[in-house]
Amino acid sequence: MTRALALLSIGLPLALAASSGAVAQSRHNSDAPIDVASNSIELQDRANRALLTGNVRITQAEMTLTAARVTVNYTGQITEGSPQVSRLDAAGGVTVTRPQQSATSQYAVYDLNRRIITMIGRVTLRQGGNTVTGGRLSINLDTGRATIDGSGVGGGTAAPGQPGMQSSGGRVTGRFSVPKRSGTPQQ
C-alpha cells in the first residue's frame, strides 16, 4: 500500500466527517432483514441464487443499494423459513446510500459474511460537500472504514494489456469542503 493510499484510507472518513460536520457513521446492522424489489426476479434454486433485473432496489437497515441487475447468492441452510443470503453481486449504475453518505460505481459486491462492500469501476464517494473518486472502494460495515484506490480506473479490473482497461496505476482524486471562517478579513 502506498503512503498516499494509507493516509487516505485512515484520514478520509475523519476528513469527510469533520469537514461536513457529520458525526461518525454508526455500525451497520448486517443482521437486519434484506428487502428486495425489481422489475423481474428469476429464482435459480439448484444454484442457490436469485437474479433480480430492472430497477433493482435492495434495503437493509438504513442502507440502500440500487442497480440494473443484482445476483443474490444464498446458502442452502434455511433459517426461520428463509434461505440465508451470503452475497450480493450488483452491476449497472450501482449506488449505495447510507445516512449522510453515498457511493456510485459500475459494479459492487456485498459480502454479508465478511460485512464488506467492494465497489469497482469509476467509483465516486460523497459525504456532504466532499467527493473522492477512484477505481475501487472497500467499505467495512463493522468499522465504517472506507478505503479507495486507483485500481480498476478505466472501466474495471482486467488482465494487463486488455484494451480500454487497467488493472492498476490509476489515481485517486478528491475535493473537500473547507469550513467558512467568521471574522476573516476579505481581500
| pLDDT exceeds 90 at position 92 | yes
Contact status, residue 70 vs residue 63, Cβ threshold 8 Å: no
pTM for the full model? 0.73
Phi-psi region of 21 (alpha: psi -120 to 50; beta: other; left: phi over 0): left
Q: For residue 86, give the amino acid letter.
A: S
Residue 120's beta-bridge partner residues? 107, 136
In angstroms, the CA 124 to CA 37 distance is 24
Say what the pLDDT of residue 7 is: 32
| Per-residue pLDDT tens over the stretch 59-68 | 999 999 999 9
3-class state of residue 133 by DSSP? strand
Q: Confidence class of residue 30 from pLDDT cuts 50, 70 and 90?
A: confident
User: What percentage of the chain exceeds 70 in pLDDT?
Assistant: 71
Task: Identify the residue with better confidence: 152 or 7.
Answer: 152
